[in-house]
Amino acid sequence: QFTSWMDKIEAIMNASERQYSELREKKSSLSKSKLLKEEIFSHSTLLEAIEVKSTGMTEHYVTQLELQDLHERYQLLKDRIMETITKAEGYVHLHQEYQKNLKVFEVWLEKEQEKLSCL
């Protein structure tokens, strides 16, 4: 069950790895990533429960490997969503900076055009 959940989350993350041109799309993507982060981090207790239930079976080498695999995949999911959020925040910030600078340029250009029209 936990493995199928991780498969689903990985598929969602793979599908959402696109870049957007509109600021609202970037903000929406950031919000979705933050919600996904909450879901991912909330499953840590489930992984802990799996570990507790499997403590009686840890003498089996295969079980230990499976637990290690679950841990590694879960850690990769956590790392990946944090990286995704950091990138999305960067994209939003850059877009906002671009819009601000564009506005400054438009004001400057308008003033220059007014100067030229007065000549």
Domains of the chain: 1-91 (1.20.58)
What is the tens place of the pLDDT at every residue in 91-114?
Answer: 999 999 999 999 999 999 999 999
Q: How far apart are CA 62 and CA 96, in angstroms?
A: 51
| Average predicted confidence (pLDDT) for the chain | 91
CB atoms within 10 A of CB 84: 20
User: Is the pLDDT confidence value at 62 over 90?
Assistant: no
- Amino acid type, 48: E
Closest by CA to 29, choosing from 41, 17, 11, is: 17
Q: How far apart are CA 65 and CA 58, in angstroms?
A: 9
pTM score of the predicted model:
0.81
